[in-house]
Chains A and B, each alone.
Chain A
Amino acid sequence: MKITFDWLKDHLDTKFSEDQLLEKLTDIGLEVESVEKPSSDLEKFLVAKILKTEPHPDADRLKICDVDIGNQNILKVVCGAPNAREGLITIYAPPGAVIPKNKMKLVVAKIRGITSHGMLCSESELNLSEDSEGIIELNEKNYANKVGENYFSKNTTNIIDISITPNRPDCLGVKGIARDLAAAGFGKLKNLKTNKINSKEKQSVSVKILNEKNQGCSLFGSCLITNVKNTQSPDWLKEKIISIGQKPISAIVDITNYVMFDLNRPLHAYDADKIDKGIVVRNSKKGESFKALDNKDYKLENDMCVISDNTGVLGLGGIIGGERSGTELDTKNVLIESAYFDPRSVRKTAKQLNIDTDAKFRFERGIDPLSIEQGLNRAAELIVEICGGSVSSIDVQSIKEFKNTIIDFNPESFKKITGFEISNKEILEILNNLGFIVEKKKNNLSLIVPSWRPDINQEIDIIEELVRISGYDKIEIIQPTKVRNKPTLNKSQKLFHFLQRAVASKGYLEAITWSFSDSKINELFCKNKNQSKIVNPISADLNVLRNSIFSNLIIYLNKNINRGFKDLALFEIGPIFNGTKPGEQETVLTGLKAGKISRSSWLEKSRNVDVFDIKKDVIQTLVEAGYHKSKLYIDDQTPDYYHPGKSGRIFLNKGKENLAAYFGEIHPNILKKIDIKTEALMGFEIFLDNLKVTKKSLKDQKTKYETSDFQKSERDFAFIVDKKIEAQEILEVINNIDKELIKNSNIFDVYEGENIPSDKKSVAINLTIQSSDKTLNDDDLDRINKLVIETVEKKIGAKIRS
């Protein structure tokens, strides 16, 4: 909402400055968004007088004018306007000035060989009106002694742009803002009297509101002004319109706009002669259409509130008028509409048709239903004053009577919410100034809410008004108490933070990527599930909810590779989506690692990152998070975006109840499809929601400290086994042989090749053997040796290598 301090002063007596105004507006919730100085370029435009004209030697239509621009400066200006003539007072733009209409900056230029020092302007060029027929003709009487002065000097008050929250339609008019300011002690609201129409002439255009279900119009006021002469607006009105950044059009349009900006009372002007046998306000029927003032054709659905006549739709109530009945400069008889349209109906229609207009913006927030006659009176008065003609009496059709909201207010409730007290006197004063009618009722106040405040419905709304006007700075700070009755994080939240930092500490950079992704990439990682489409994506390549974090992470990894980075480790922890309903999501930690280890090292030979690097990162992370390595169970069943032979999944236990993670090399096809150029790419996913969080706290997790100081022995074994036998299986068999004595087992070599049958491999294992209650002698060790060999041979079908 744009206003100027000058306009505000039409309604407000105040001794304060503009700076104080800006502060006050913000203090009462009318946030000043910006203060715009009218273009300083406008200061360059001067009132000037043509002293002499002579024809241009080389162009029939051009004239060379001697122009008096004041201070005894007389310049030669080339001008093409037919009305440029001796004695004319007009507006001169010097070189350097920027023409408002086309933003062109003037320079001294030769026009057909004759140097022109500036330009004489038309109204259209200055955005004063659409009139481009010739240069401006200023009134001799008013301007004769102003030659050389700035033409726009009177209009240089700042444009103050206020952000009006959706609950405050009353402040979409200058008067409403003035009322709020007055209530907050910023001056006194002027009691402007509008002259009431005093006419014996009846409004002769019939108006009828059909009382239908879902009728969006409940009140329709109108008056007819006959024999007008539509014209340019007078200067004061043009300046008003221009001062808030709008463009004057014609007197009738400017007047309706002026009343709208001033009082937030939207009006609509019809050319009464174009209305076919009276107005009917009704619901539209599907298939009806009309051409609106924005020159677009609209096809209507059922139940849209339309203003119609015998021929068809004239306009959409409270949204936009139709071209057919619009006023023009030659309009003779004008019907002014001042109506109340239901906010929900207006909003619904505008949304369906995708129209946004100033009227719609206002009606969907709620227009004062009792301002109908005030708007008509004011507009009619101005039209007659400017365009002449005679006014009919006002006709108001109504199908529903407006009733003010009444609220019972207990003044005690104010302190309960705000924490501070204000006197009853102040309460009464604020409410009165805001337009409430207050009646004392025992301890309570009975309040009649003003008709322009549709936002006020209950006690809390009154408290808001009081604290807003009284001042938020009066709210006293109550220091928070440092008491914690509940743990800040629950177990799974702690796990989230722990895993996040555990993975980062292994050299991964944390990334945050969109929750949505490109369906073409996401498809590669969605495990053949349905992709969840976004109906209105921000762009075509962010059109689905991600089924995997890989979908985005791999793209960004590739961008970094393209930036010239080769060895990269990225991770993200966040949601992935399995559907489009609340809760159909899970939290996953996903990492990617690309390139080489020890690239270009003087110390070590470099090698590609491999699946056991990433396996280490995952297992170490899980172990750090408190899961026992000995319980983790691994198999090779992984989704199709992993290399089928170099990937695995990790369960928290052998029962495979909880899938903790996938890890492995990313499938070469994926790299090919996305065109990633790297030596190696590994990835992993840890599924947080599947990780069982222990109920034990750290203090209970520590078991009794037990250790053995008896001598320990190490024994090495090498078994020949089938190639398909997994290491995990061998170790499991060994570890179960004697849990008391076999303290540790480790595979230190795997060999395939010479001296070993082609379908077999040799696995070398080191065992640490130690007893908790004695030093083992040779016999004991031989016994356990034998047991190990026998068991492994029997259970695995292995053969000890001699």
Chain B
Amino acid sequence: MSDIKKIKDEYLSKLKSKIDINQVNQIKTELFGKNGLISSQFKNIGSVAETERKKFAADLNSIKDELQDLINSKVNEIETAEINEKLAKEKVDITLPERSFVQGKIHPVSQTIDEISSIFSEIGFSVEEGPDVENEYYNFTALNTPDNHPARDMHDTFYLDENKEFLLRTHTSPVQIRTMLKEKPPYKIIAPGRTYRSDSDQTHAPMFHQVEGLHIDKDINMGHLKGCLNYFIKEFFEVDKIKMRFRPSHFPFTEPSAEVDIGYEIKDGKIVIGEGDKWLEILGCGMVHPNVLKNAKVDPLNYQGYAFGIGIDRLAMLKYGINDLRAFFECDYRWLNHYGFDPLDVPTSYRGLSR
């Protein structure tokens, strides 16, 4: 009995002193090795007097457990200390810069086109396209703008041949004709795209973007036109209230025709859309002229509807506070970074047009 008590006391004090992992292993061997002190005692159990044997065995097991626990925790303690020491050495200055990355951007015109498409998608419009190079017929004549009509003066046209048969489209309206000739009514389309006029100053660029709208069915009237545009403008500018004014105007391809103004005010040098008592013209529209329907082989007695044309660049300028139209096309890295959109910002109806 006293033997094992002695072993216990001796090794407890050894283990509690400052020792390294080798010394712990040494102790482990001394105690629990094949001929270790504790192992030997277990072998002796048989030789202990029967009356004391049970108590001896119990004491021995308890001492064994106590020493083993202590060894394990000592090993743990040493290992933890070692890891901590290693990690302390590995410490970096975490405020140093990360690996560099570049963020790509979507051009504000492309973003705006996606926004427009998303809004019109909700009310059942699909997207159509047409060629940038048009012939004189689709761009003018079919749109009720015959040769020698003064309305042609409103379009400074780029021509591609001396006979003025081929040209860069001056508006997206020829897509109306192409769409109607291609399919049977009804039609409910928008057609965003590039348009061209030989004009260049602060507010005019030789190339700009328009979106055409066309809705033809049996009974589409000016109330539908007003409703559609009112909906679009509210959604686009993401405002609850919008002041909108329809004004009579003239386009050869619509009749009656209207121009649409929206209310705005200048707050802190920025345009705020929706309120205020100033008017800003943003689009032209009207009921498709019966002559246009006839030219597109649609019977004006059975079908009627509206068309509109909106300047996309101008919408983008108004919504995002961009001043100079020409900067859209000058590809200044700083400008593109500033006004561009993250490619993950896809305008959708469920997530909203913008963040």
Whether B141 is near chain A, meaning CB under 8 Å from some CB there, is no
Contact of B166 among A26, A475, A490, A580 (CB under 8 A): A580
Indicate if the CB atoms of A166 and B227 lie closer than 8 Å: no
Some 14 contacts from A to B, beta carbons below 8 A apart, are A419-B221, A419-B223, A477-B223, A488-B120, A488-B121, A505-B104, A507-B101, A511-B336, A516-B207, A537-B158, A545-B160, A577-B133, A580-B166, A601-B99
Whether A80 is near chain B, meaning CB under 8 Å from some CB there, is no
- The proximity string for B residues 300-344 relative to A, scoring 1 for CB distances below 8 Å and 0 otherwise, is 000010000000000000000000000011111110110010011
In the complex, residue of chain B having the shortest beta-carbon distance to the beta carbon of A163: B249
List the 6 shortest-distance A-B pairs measured between CB atoms, nearest first: A29-B248, A419-B223, A165-B250, A507-B102, A556-B331, A504-B104
Instruction: Report how far A165 CA is from B206 CA in the complex, Å.
Output: 23
Indicate if the CB atoms of A585 and B131 lie closer than 8 Å: yes
Whether A20 is near chain B, meaning CB under 8 Å from some CB there, is no
Indicate if the CB atoms of A504 and B106 lie closer than 8 Å: yes
Instruction: Report how far A415 CA is from B257 CA in the complex, Å.
Output: 16
Whether B50 is near chain A, meaning CB under 8 Å from some CB there, is no
In the complex, residue of chain A having the shortest beta-carbon distance to the beta carbon of B132: A575
* Given A27-B247, A472-B247: A467 touches B135 (CB 8 Å cut-off): no
Indicate if the CB atoms of A559 and B106 lie closer than 8 Å: no
Indicate if the CB atoms of B333 and A509 lie closer than 8 Å: yes
- The proximity string for B residues 108-124 relative to A, scoring 1 for CB distances below 8 Å and 0 otherwise, is 01100010010011111
Contact of A507 among B103, B256, B258, B329 (CB under 8 A): B103
Instruction: Report how far A200 CA is from B337 CA in the complex, Å.
Output: 82
Whether A584 is near chain B, meaning CB under 8 Å from some CB there, is yes
Whether B97 is near chain A, meaning CB under 8 Å from some CB there, is yes
* Given A458-B290, A480-B228, A483-B124: A475 touches B246 (CB 8 Å cut-off): yes
Whether A482 is near chain B, meaning CB under 8 Å from some CB there, is yes
In the complex, residue of chain B having the shortest beta-carbon distance to the beta carbon of A476: B223
Indicate if the CB atoms of B247 and A510 lie closer than 8 Å: no
Indicate if the CB atoms of B196 and A515 lie closer than 8 Å: yes
Q: Which residues of chain B are near A574, meaning CB under 8 Å?
A: 194
Indicate if the CB atoms of B224 and A478 lie closer than 8 Å: yes
Instruction: Report how far A506 CA is from B105 CA in the complex, Å.
Output: 9
Instruction: Report how far A460 CA is from B107 CA in the complex, Å.
Output: 42
Instruction: Report how far A489 CA is from B255 CA in the complex, Å.
Output: 29
CB of A554, distance to nearest CB on chain B (Å): 11
- The proximity string for B residues 249-292 relative to A, scoring 1 for CB distances below 8 Å and 0 otherwise, is 11000011111000000000000000000000000000101100
* Given A510-B105, A512-B109, A514-B207: A493 touches B221 (CB 8 Å cut-off): no
Indicate if the CB atoms of B121 and A484 lie closer than 8 Å: yes
Q: Which residues of chain A are near B200, meaning CB under 8 Å?
A: 538
Whether B226 is near chain A, meaning CB under 8 Å from some CB there, is yes
Indicate if the CB atoms of A582 and B123 lie closer than 8 Å: no
Whether A583 is near chain B, meaning CB under 8 Å from some CB there, is yes
Indicate if the CB atoms of A168 and B206 lie closer than 8 Å: no
In the complex, residue of chain A having the shortest beta-carbon distance to the beta carbon of B247: A26
Whether A766 is near chain B, meaning CB under 8 Å from some CB there, is no
CB of B218, distance to nearest CB on chain A (Å): 10
Indicate if the CB atoms of A601 and B149 lie closer than 8 Å: no
Name the segment of A132-140, A398-406, A560-568, A693-701 touching the other chain: A560-568
CB of A324, distance to nearest CB on chain B (Å): 29
Indicate if the CB atoms of B160 and A167 lie closer than 8 Å: no
Q: Which residues of chain B are near A515, meaning CB under 8 Å?
A: 132, 168, 194, 196, 207
Contact of B104 among A167, A168, A503, A516 (CB under 8 A): A503
Indicate if the CB atoms of A563 and B332 lie closer than 8 Å: yes
Whether B129 is near chain A, meaning CB under 8 Å from some CB there, is yes
CB of A355, distance to nearest CB on chain B (Å): 14
Contact of B127 among A488, A512, A537, A577 (CB under 8 A): A488
B residues touching A (Cβ–Cβ < 8 Å)?
96-97, 99-107, 109-110, 114, 117, 120-127, 129, 131-135, 138, 148-151, 153-154, 158-162, 164, 166, 168, 188, 194, 196, 198-200, 206-207, 219, 221-224, 226-228, 230-231, 246-250, 255-259, 287, 289-290, 304, 328-334, 336-337, 340, 343-344, 346
* Given A26-B247, A582-B135: A347 touches B150 (CB 8 Å cut-off): yes
Indicate if the CB atoms of B104 and A480 lie closer than 8 Å: no
Indicate if the CB atoms of A501 and B246 lie closer than 8 Å: no
Whether A486 is near chain B, meaning CB under 8 Å from some CB there, is yes
* Given A167-B250, A463-B256, A577-B133: A536 touches B158 (CB 8 Å cut-off): yes
Chain A residues with a Cβ closer than 8 Å to the other chain, count: 100
Q: Which residues of chain A are near B226, meaning CB under 8 Å?
A: 475-478
Whether A104 is near chain B, meaning CB under 8 Å from some CB there, is no
Contact of A568 among B129, B223, B227, B333 (CB under 8 A): B333
Contact of A581 among B122, B153, B166 (CB under 8 A): B166
Given contacts A468-B256, A475-B246, A563-B333, 16 further A-B contacts (CB under 8 A): A166-B153, A417-B221, A478-B224, A482-B124, A484-B122, A488-B120, A500-B106, A509-B105, A510-B106, A514-B207, A516-B158, A534-B159, A534-B168, A580-B133, A582-B166, A585-B133
Q: Does more than half of chain B's interface fall in helix, strand or loop, or is it mixed?
A: mixed
Instruction: Report how far A565 CA is from B337 CA in the complex, Å.
Output: 13
Q: Which residues of chain A are near B334, meaning CB under 8 Å?
A: 563
Indicate if the CB atoms of B160 and A535 lie closer than 8 Å: yes
In the complex, residue of chain A having the shortest beta-carbon distance to the beta carbon of B248: A29
Indicate if the CB atoms of B194 and A575 lie closer than 8 Å: yes
Restricting to A751-772, which residues have a CB under 8 Å from any CB of B? Answer: none
Q: Which residues of chain B are near A166, meaning CB under 8 Å?
A: 149-151, 153-154, 250
In the complex, residue of chain A having the shortest beta-carbon distance to the beta carbon of B163: A535
Indicate if the CB atoms of A500 and B110 lie closer than 8 Å: yes
Instruction: Report how far A515 CA is from B206 CA in the complex, Å.
Output: 10
Indicate if the CB atoms of B151 and A514 lie closer than 8 Å: no
Whether A258 is near chain B, meaning CB under 8 Å from some CB there, is no
In the complex, residue of chain A having the shortest beta-carbon distance to the beta carbon of B186: A485
Indicate if the CB atoms of B129 and A472 lie closer than 8 Å: no
Indicate if the CB atoms of A569 and B104 lie closer than 8 Å: yes
Contact of A504 among B101, B105, B129, B247 (CB under 8 A): B105
Whether A604 is near chain B, meaning CB under 8 Å from some CB there, is yes
Indicate if the CB atoms of B223 and A478 lie closer than 8 Å: yes
Q: Which residues of chain B are near A344, meaning CB under 8 Å?
A: 148
Indicate if the CB atoms of B124 and A464 lie closer than 8 Å: no
Q: Which residues of chain A are near B336, meaning CB under 8 Å?
A: 509-511, 570
Instruction: Report how far A522 CA is from B248 CA in the complex, Å.
Output: 45
Contact of A535 among B102, B138, B149, B162 (CB under 8 A): B162
Indicate if the CB atoms of A417 and B304 lie closer than 8 Å: yes
Point out which of B134, B207, B219, B228 has the most chain A C-beta atoms below 10 A from its C-beta: B207
Whether A49 is near chain B, meaning CB under 8 Å from some CB there, is no
Contact of B96 among A348, A460, A513, A602 (CB under 8 A): A602
Indicate if the CB atoms of B256 and A417 lie closer than 8 Å: yes
Contact of B125 among A488, A506, A513 (CB under 8 A): A488
Q: Which residues of chain B are near A478, meaning CB under 8 Å?
A: 221, 223-224, 226-227
Q: Which residues of chain A are near B344, meaning CB under 8 Å?
A: 501, 505
Q: Which residues of chain A are near B222, meaning CB under 8 Å?
A: 417-419, 467, 475
Contact of B160 among A473, A533, A575 (CB under 8 A): A533
Indicate if the CB atoms of B160 and A460 lie closer than 8 Å: no
Instruction: Report how far A535 CA is from B157 CA in the complex, Å.
Output: 10
Point out which of A348, A365, A506, A515 has the most chain B C-beta atoms below 10 A from its C-beta: A515
Q: Which residues of chain B are near A347, meaning CB under 8 Å?
A: 148, 150
CB of B166, distance to nearest CB on chain A (Å): 5
Instruction: Report how far A215 CA is from B230 CA in the complex, Å.
Output: 50
Instruction: Report how far A401 CA is from B123 CA in the complex, Å.
Output: 53
CB of A202, distance to nearest CB on chain B (Å): 38
Point out which of B103, B117, B148 has the most chain A C-beta atoms below 10 A from its C-beta: B148
Contact of B133 among A482, A485, A514, A584 (CB under 8 A): A584
Q: Which residues of chain B are near A165, meaning CB under 8 Å?
A: 249-250
Indicate if the CB atoms of A501 and B106 lie closer than 8 Å: yes
Indicate if the CB atoms of A420 and B223 lie closer than 8 Å: yes
* Given A165-B249, A347-B150, A460-B255: A534 touches B160 (CB 8 Å cut-off): yes
Instruction: Report how far A545 CA is from B133 CA in the complex, Å.
Output: 10
Whether A461 is near chain B, meaning CB under 8 Å from some CB there, is yes
Contact of B331 among A505, A513, A580 (CB under 8 A): A513
CB of A626, distance to nearest CB on chain B (Å): 17
